[in-house]
Amino acid sequence: MSCFFWNVRGLNKSTKHSVIKKWVEEQNFQFGCILETRVQESKMQTVGNQIFKDWSILTNYEHNRRGRIWVVWRNNTRLSPIYKSGQLITCSVKLEGQEDEFFCSFLYVSNFASERKDLWNDLRDHCDSPIIRNKPWIIFGDFNEILNMAEHSKGDDTRVTYGMREFQEMVNYCAFTDLSSHGSLYTWSNRQENDLILKKLDRVLVNNKWKMSFPQSYNVFEAGGCSDHLRCRINLNIDVGERVKGKKPFKFINAIAEMQEFRPMVEAYWKTTEPVYMSTSTMFRFTKKLKALKPKIRQLAKEKMGNLVKRTKEAHDTLCQKQEENLKSPSPQAMIEETEAHEKWELLAEIEEKYLKQKSKLHWMQVGDKNNKTFHRAVMARVAHNSIREIQRQDGSVTKKGEEIKEEAELFSVSFCSWFQMTLRELHWRNFKFCYHLGVQQRIEVD
Partner 1 sequence: MEPVTGEEIKTVLFFMSSDKSPGPDGFTTEFYKATWEIIGAEFIVAVKSFFEKGFLPKGVNSTILALIPKKFETKEMKDYRPISCCNVIYKVISKLIAKRLKEILPQFIAGNQSAFVKDRLLIQNLLLATEIVKDYHKESVSDRCAIKIDISKAFDSVQWSFLENVLHSLNFSQEFIHWIMLCITTASFSVQVNGELVGFFNSSRGLRQGCSLSPYLFVIAMDVLSKMLDRAAGFKKFGYHPRCQTIGLTHLTFADDLMVLSDGKVRSVEGIVSVFDEFAKKSGLKISMEKSTIYLAGSANMYRREIEERFKFAVGSLPVRYLGLPLVTKRFSSADYRPLVEQIKRKIGTWTARYLSYAGRLNLISSVIWSICNFWIAAFRLPRECIREIDKLCSAFLWSGPELNSKRAKVNWEAICKPKREGGLGLRSLKEANDVSCLKLIWRWVSRGDSLWVKWIETYLLKTKSFWSLNMQYNGSWM
Q: Which of residues 150-179 bind partner 1 (CB under 8 A)?
A: 150, 157-160, 168, 172-173, 175, 177
Question: 172 exposed, middle or buried (CB, 10 Å; 0-12, 13-18, 19+)?
Answer: exposed
Judged by DSSP in three states, 81 sits in strand
Of 42-71, which residues contact partner 1 (CB under 8 A)?
none
| Spatial separation of the C-alpha atoms in residues 378 and 395, rounded to whole Å | 35
Give the nearest distance from C-beta 97 to partner 1 in angstroms.
25
Half-sphere exposure in the Cβ direction for 172 (13 Å, CA): 7
Of 275-294, which residues contact partner 1 (CB under 8 A)?
275-284, 286-287, 289-291, 294
Of 384-443, which residues contact partner 1 (CB under 8 A)?
385-388, 391-394, 402, 405-410, 412-414, 416-419, 422, 424-425, 427, 429, 432-433, 435-440, 442-443
Cβ proximity to partner 1: between 36 and 408 the closer is 408
Of 14-33, which residues contact partner 1 (CB under 8 A)?
none
What angle do the packed helices 308-328 and 332-360 form, to 10 degrees?
Answer: 160
Cβ proximity to partner 1: between 53 and 373 the closer is 373
Under a CB-based contact definition with an 8 Å cutoff, are residues 88 and 71 in contact?
A: no
Cβ proximity to partner 1: between 2 and 371 the closer is 371
Cβ proximity to partner 1: between 98 and 392 the closer is 392
| Spatial separation of the C-alpha atoms in residues 155 and 198, rounded to whole Å | 10
Give the nearest distance from C-beta 317 to partner 1 in angstroms.
23
Give the nearest distance from C-beta 236 to partner 1 in angstroms.
18
Cβ proximity to partner 1: between 223 and 335 the closer is 223
| Spatial separation of the C-alpha atoms in residues 169 and 164, rounded to whole Å | 9
Under a CB-based contact definition with an 8 Å cutoff, are residues 87 and 36 in contact?
A: no
Give the nearest distance from C-beta 158 to partner 1 in angstroms.
4
Cβ proximity to partner 1: between 248 and 310 the closer is 248
Cβ proximity to partner 1: between 268 and 336 the closer is 268
Of 112-151, which residues contact partner 1 (CB under 8 A)?
148-150
Strand 202-206 relative to strand 181-183, pairing? unpaired
Listed in sequence order, the DSSP H helices in 273-331 are 282-305, 308-328
Cβ proximity to partner 1: between 54 and 445 the closer is 445
Give the nearest distance from C-beta 328 to partner 1 in angstroms.
32
AA letter at 122? D
Phi-psi category of residue 396: left, alpha or beta, with phi > 0 → left and psi -120 to 50 → alpha = left
Of 201-230, which residues contact partner 1 (CB under 8 A)?
208
Cβ proximity to partner 1: between 33 and 179 the closer is 179
Give the nearest distance from C-beta 182 to partner 1 in angstroms.
5
AA letter at 204? V
Give the nearest distance from C-beta 84 to partner 1 in angstroms.
29
Cβ proximity to partner 1: between 69 and 205 the closer is 205
Residue in 18, 49, 121, 184 binding partner 1, rule: CB under 8 A: 184
244 touching partner 1, by CB under 8 A = no
Residue in 46, 76, 267, 332 binding partner 1, rule: CB under 8 A: 267
Cβ proximity to partner 1: between 94 and 393 the closer is 393
- Give the number of residues in contact with partner 1, rule: CB under 8 A: 105
| Nearest by Cα to 351 from 255, 253, 261 | 255
Give the nearest distance from C-beta 218 to partner 1 in angstroms.
10
The alpha carbons of the chain give a radius of gyration, in whole angstroms, of 30
Half-sphere exposure in the Cβ direction for 244 (13 Å, CA): 3
Of 341-380, which residues contact partner 1 (CB under 8 A)?
357-358, 361-366, 369-371, 373-374, 377-378
| Spatial separation of the C-alpha atoms in residues 70 and 33, rounded to whole Å | 5
| Spatial separation of the C-alpha atoms in residues 234 and 102, rounded to whole Å | 15
Listed in sequence order, the DSSP H helices in 329-392 are 332-360, 372-386
Q: How many beta carbons lie within 10 A of that of residue 413, not counting itself? A: 10
Judged by DSSP in three states, 333 sits in helix
Give the nearest distance from C-beta 267 to partner 1 in angstroms.
5
Give the nearest distance from C-beta 195 to partner 1 in angstroms.
15
Helix %, strand %, coil % for the chain, to 5? 50, 15, 35
AA letter at 130? P
